[in-house]
Chains A and B, each alone.
Chain A
Amino acid sequence: MEKIIEAVNVSYIYQTKYQKTQALKEVSCSFERGKVYAITGKSGSGKSTFLSLLAGLDVPTEGTLTVEGEDMRKMNRDAYRLNRASVIYQAFHLFPLLTVMENVMFPMELQHVSAKEAKTRAREYLEKVGLPETLYKKRPGMISGGEQQRVAIARAIAAGGEILLADEPTGNLDSQNEKVIVELLCKLAHEDNYAVIVVTHNEAVAAAADVVYGMSDGTLSSVRS
């Protein structure tokens, strides 16, 4: 398996007006396609920050983060997020005023896919995540949390990228929905060759992962394959 993302001595400092907080200290690890990675750790261990850096939401303060050998600092991170890496959040982060269908079509529209094509593909992705058609025209606020997370996954894969990043994707779900979502993520990695990286402190989610990175105080403390 080829590495798609590699982190070498990645450090990150949150800097506010009044203080500096070192969130990551010299984290080094790599990620491959077709696998599910779980990053675990206590709250404040830096796992969500690491995921955000992997999503290209910011660049490391020190160290390098490369995507297929290309330094994240030098690449167009907007294009990276649009075309290659998608993030799924615990709070779903769907657009509340757009319908389910429109939410899924959104990244495709940014990629200038025609409306008709985007609609067809959105329907496919929504079917793939198992969302019934009756919900397509509903707004996120009118469907359940599990259904919203499925919409979020459909939107993430609609961009057609190869890296799927999930931050506590089952945090707001019941056990039944949690299981469905974990299975869905695993399926995307194993069948569709996504590199799925999940930040979680849920044991069940971690158990389903191919590789588990443990983080503590901003450093990578353990690796389990």
Chain B
Amino acid sequence: MATIKNSLTRLVRTPVKTALFFLLLSFTVALVCAGGSLWKLCGDNLQRFEEIFMTIGTVEQTPERTEQEAVWYADIEDYRYYNRAVYGETISPDVLDFEGAGYLSGPEQRAYYEALPLDYKFKDREGGLWQFMVVEASPMEDCVPAGPVKMELKNVLYSTYPPNVVYFYLCDHNNDSPEPLYADKTYVMALQDGFAHDWSENGAEAKFEYEPLEGPYSTQADAEGNRLPTDLTGNWIAEVTPGFYETKEGQEWLRFCEECVLRGSKHLTFPVTATEDLNLVMAFYSKQAYLTEGELLSEEDYQQGNKVCLISAAFARSNGFQVGDSLHLALRYANYAASANVGGGEGRLRADGGVYQVFEESDYTIKGIYDVGVGTVEGGWGYLLERNEVFIPTASIKNSNEDNIALYGRMKGYTTAFRIPNGSESIENYKRLWEAQGVDHVEITFYDGGYSKLEGGLKNMRTMSVILLTTGIVSAVCIVVFFCHLFIAKQKKQTAIERCLGMTRGQCARSLLAGVMVIALMGSAAGGFAGQFFAGSAAAQMAGVETFDTRFSNGEVQFNMEKSEEEMADQSADGSGIAKSAYLTQTDWRMSVVCAGLAFLFTMGMALLGIYQNLKEEPLALLAEAEK
């Protein structure tokens, strides 16, 4: 104790040296701790954002040119002109398969499948007032339906709603040269409710009219996407003669009606979208669609093709479905050209004139229920989800759909996507490789939720922290070595005297070590606190400066699902500021403890080394050296 007391007394009596050592050590330890803490924080943030964010690319075949298209409008009895995009040959998504692309999932050109409605309810569907019907009707007089002509309804072959009319007005609105209709003849036609194109002239007296929509035709494609040849007549209006339904054209109209009944018209569609990764569906990627119950489809589900599905909250409500319930899916045909929300475009009949039959039928377990938030999804309505849309893993469809492709089309942003690793480097690498493929008229748009910017900021911060850390370590080493030299090596004379007075090597070591230990302990502790404080301030500033539009990141859904209403109120309208919430700003105090501890141990190690050098000699030699 006496030796330690004297050592401390000496320390107190050299206040400048002691204070200088303390301050310099504190400063360098603070640098090391701040650097270490920030480095770890940046690493943690990068890892966190790596988990939160994801980068997807959507693929769209672009037009080769545009051309003017003239569309006839019966109400103005003239053409209106539109610029129409003209696309070249449909480009296969196979062009996306190239060396080094590094896909995490996809690329996929998703199909949505029409499933038999069975007895499922869709009562809260949107657009339910739209009327579509296949009818037999006769004009009241010979006419050309270039404007509203009065028709008598003879027979309803199919209708979404009972028409409850005997007479109606027909106008082949967009046909600049409609065929004449004769009062003594009956015609079959598929009509949709149109608009009173004389509304501006007659107001409430205007003639509410129907217009022909389509006829029996086919857009069926083979597995390669090539349109199959067909000999369907495709007439929109056909004369019903005696024995008409025994004729080829009549049979086509009967199949047409049969198909209408099967699918319950477009409004009773029950779309099932098959995907390899829900994140490739923009509504899920952007978190406009989010899970309300159960779980999302897992990697294992995609890989194993598990018979699990995700259903919409609207569909679940209509049918009282809960997570874990079974959903029977009977898939009839695939549409590769549109998203389920856009839908349609496909002919109602097979190329051979038949009706599409179920090719895949099985029970799926409802794994999760999703809902759709308010807001828009970048890209337009094609990216929105259909109200009753069901999602299943692509691999869960065991039978080939090659004979049931009702429509194949070009890649669109809402049908074709892939996922690659996060980071600007990854995106740039992909772009470079893609450029090298030399594929024209395909546009790839990347979405990373601001990760690249975030990553850049974090990497800058990490570089700064490494500089801090390195500077701190180098300074700490220099200062510790210098002060150990001052406090120990330069104290050879004192050690020699102590040894001459009978102090043992151990006592001398304790005497020398005590002072260094006290300063090192205080310096490390003070530096540790200062470093932690500095790192915390820097991290808070970093988070304050870096705000990102994270609408396209997982951050938002976590934010939405985990935050209270008050916290939600802090969210700015455009979605920015969410990253700030996702930012880890709490520096890990353990890192500071470790850095400060290492600085302390290093100091003690250097001190022990110096002490060993001092004490290894006999007092005589030590004294001689000290006197020299």
CB-CB under 8 A from B500, the residues of chain A are: 55, 57, 81, 87, 93
CB-CB under 8 A from A53, the residues of chain B are: 620
A82 at the interface (CB under 8 A from B): yes
Instruction: Known A98-B9, A110-B502; judge A57-B619 contact (CB<8 A).
Output: yes
The CA of A98 and the CA of B6, in the complex, are separated in Å by 8
Contact A58 B620 (CB under 8 A): yes
The CA of A93 and the CA of B504, in the complex, are separated in Å by 18
The CA of A93 and the CA of B618, in the complex, are separated in Å by 17
Q: List 25 A-B contacts (CB under 8 A).
A: A49-B620, A57-B618, A78-B503, A81-B499, A81-B500, A82-B502, A83-B502, A91-B627, A93-B500, A94-B497, A95-B6, A95-B10, A95-B494, A95-B497, A97-B10, A106-B6, A107-B501, A107-B502, A109-B2, A109-B5, A109-B6, A110-B501, A110-B507, A112-B2, A159-B502
Contact A98 B10 (CB under 8 A): yes
Contact A106 B501 (CB under 8 A): yes
CB-CB under 8 A from B475, the residues of chain A are: none
Given contacts A78-B499, A93-B493, A98-B6, 10 further A-B contacts (CB under 8 A): A49-B620, A52-B620, A57-B620, A81-B500, A81-B619, A82-B503, A91-B627, A97-B10, A107-B501, A109-B6
Quick one: closest A residue to B493, CB to CB?
A: A93
Instruction: Known A98-B9, A110-B501; judge A52-B623 contact (CB<8 A).
Output: yes
Q: Which of A44-99 contact B (CB under 8 A)?
A: 49, 52-53, 55, 57-58, 78-83, 86-87, 91, 93-95, 97-98
The CA of A79 and the CA of B14, in the complex, are separated in Å by 30
How many of A's residues come within 8 Å of B, CB to CB?
28
Q: Which of B1-35 contact A (CB under 8 A)?
A: 2-3, 5-6, 9-10, 13-14
Q: Which of B596-625 contact A (CB under 8 A)?
A: 618-621, 623
Contact B9 A97 (CB under 8 A): yes
A6 at the interface (CB under 8 A from B): no
A102 at the interface (CB under 8 A from B): yes
CB-CB under 8 A from A49, the residues of chain B are: 620
The CA of A53 and the CA of B507, in the complex, are separated in Å by 22
Give the A-binding residues of B (Cβ under 8 A).
Answer: 2-3, 5-6, 9-10, 13-14, 493-494, 496-497, 499-504, 507, 618-621, 623, 627
CB-CB under 8 A from A80, the residues of chain B are: 502
Contact B2 A58 (CB under 8 A): no
Quick one: closest B residue to A161, CB to CB?
A: B502
Contact B9 A102 (CB under 8 A): yes
Contact B9 A79 (CB under 8 A): no
The CA of A57 and the CA of B626, in the complex, are separated in Å by 14
The CA of A110 and the CA of B503, in the complex, are separated in Å by 7
The CA of A155 and the CA of B2, in the complex, are separated in Å by 16
CB-CB under 8 A from A94, the residues of chain B are: 497
Quick one: closest A residue to B494, CB to CB?
A: A95
CB-CB under 8 A from B5, the residues of chain A are: 109
The CA of A83 and the CA of B497, in the complex, are separated in Å by 15
Contact A78 B620 (CB under 8 A): no
Q: How far is the CB of A97 from chain B (nearest CB, A)?
A: 4
The 6 closest A-B pairs by CB, nearest first: A82-B502, A109-B2, A81-B502, A57-B620, A58-B620, A57-B619
The CA of A126 and the CA of B619, in the complex, are separated in Å by 27
Q: How far is the CB of B238 from chain A (nearest CB, A)?
A: 117
Give the B-binding residues of A (Cβ under 8 A).
Answer: 49, 52-53, 55, 57-58, 78-83, 86-87, 91, 93-95, 97-98, 102, 106-107, 109-110, 112, 155, 159
Q: How far is the CB of B344 from chain A (nearest CB, A)?
A: 96
CB-CB under 8 A from A95, the residues of chain B are: 6, 10, 494, 497
Instruction: Known A81-B501, A110-B502; judge A102-B6 contact (CB<8 A).
Output: yes
Contact partner of A82 among B493, B501, B620, B623, CB < 8 A?
A: B501
Q: How far is the CB of B502 from chain A (nearest CB, A)?
A: 3
CB-CB under 8 A from B619, the residues of chain A are: 57-58, 81
The CA of A78 and the CA of B3, in the complex, are separated in Å by 15
In this complex, which of B2, B10, B621 has the most chain A Cβ atoms within 10 angstroms of its Cβ?
B2
The CA of A83 and the CA of B619, in the complex, are separated in Å by 16
CB-CB under 8 A from B14, the residues of chain A are: 97
Contact A58 B618 (CB under 8 A): yes
Quick one: closest B residue to A109, CB to CB?
A: B2
The CA of A142 and the CA of B6, in the complex, are separated in Å by 19
Contact B501 A97 (CB under 8 A): no
Contact B507 A97 (CB under 8 A): no
Q: How far is the CB of A69 from chain B (nearest CB, A)?
A: 21
The CA of A110 and the CA of B493, in the complex, are separated in Å by 18
Contact B502 A78 (CB under 8 A): yes
The CA of A106 and the CA of B502, in the complex, are separated in Å by 11
The CA of A210 and the CA of B524, in the complex, are separated in Å by 59
The CA of A78 and the CA of B500, in the complex, are separated in Å by 8
Q: How far is the CB of B21 from chain A (nearest CB, A)?
A: 16
Quick one: closest B residue to A83, CB to CB?
A: B502
Q: How far is the CB of B488 from chain A (nearest CB, A)?
A: 15
The CA of A106 and the CA of B2, in the complex, are separated in Å by 8
Quick one: closest B residue to A76, CB to CB?
A: B504
Q: How far is the CB of B490 from chain A (nearest CB, A)?
A: 13
CB-CB under 8 A from B13, the residues of chain A are: 97
CB-CB under 8 A from B503, the residues of chain A are: 78, 82, 110
The CA of A155 and the CA of B502, in the complex, are separated in Å by 12
CB-CB under 8 A from A57, the residues of chain B are: 499-500, 618-620, 623
Instruction: Known A98-B9, A110-B3; judge A78-B618 contact (CB<8 A).
Output: no
Contact B497 A93 (CB under 8 A): yes
The CA of A78 and the CA of B2, in the complex, are separated in Å by 16
The CA of A58 and the CA of B496, in the complex, are separated in Å by 12
CB-CB under 8 A from B493, the residues of chain A are: 93
CB-CB under 8 A from A106, the residues of chain B are: 2, 6, 501
The CA of A46 and the CA of B192, in the complex, are separated in Å by 127
The CA of A78 and the CA of B627, in the complex, are separated in Å by 20
The CA of A80 and the CA of B502, in the complex, are separated in Å by 7
CB-CB under 8 A from A87, the residues of chain B are: 500
In this complex, which of B3, B499, B500, B507 has the most chain A Cβ atoms within 10 angstroms of its Cβ?
B500
Q: How far is the CB of B498 from chain A (nearest CB, A)?
A: 8
CB-CB under 8 A from A52, the residues of chain B are: 620, 623
CB-CB under 8 A from B620, the residues of chain A are: 49, 52-53, 57-58
CB-CB under 8 A from A93, the residues of chain B are: 493, 496-497, 500
The CA of A159 and the CA of B501, in the complex, are separated in Å by 9
CB-CB under 8 A from B499, the residues of chain A are: 57, 78, 81
The CA of A97 and the CA of B500, in the complex, are separated in Å by 18
CB-CB under 8 A from A110, the residues of chain B are: 2-3, 501-503, 507
Quick one: closest A residue to B497, CB to CB?
A: A93
Q: How far is the CB of A144 from chain B (nearest CB, A)?
A: 20
CB-CB under 8 A from B621, the residues of chain A are: 58
Q: How far is the CB of A85 from chain B (nearest CB, A)?
A: 9
The CA of A107 and the CA of B9, in the complex, are separated in Å by 16
The CA of A57 and the CA of B503, in the complex, are separated in Å by 11
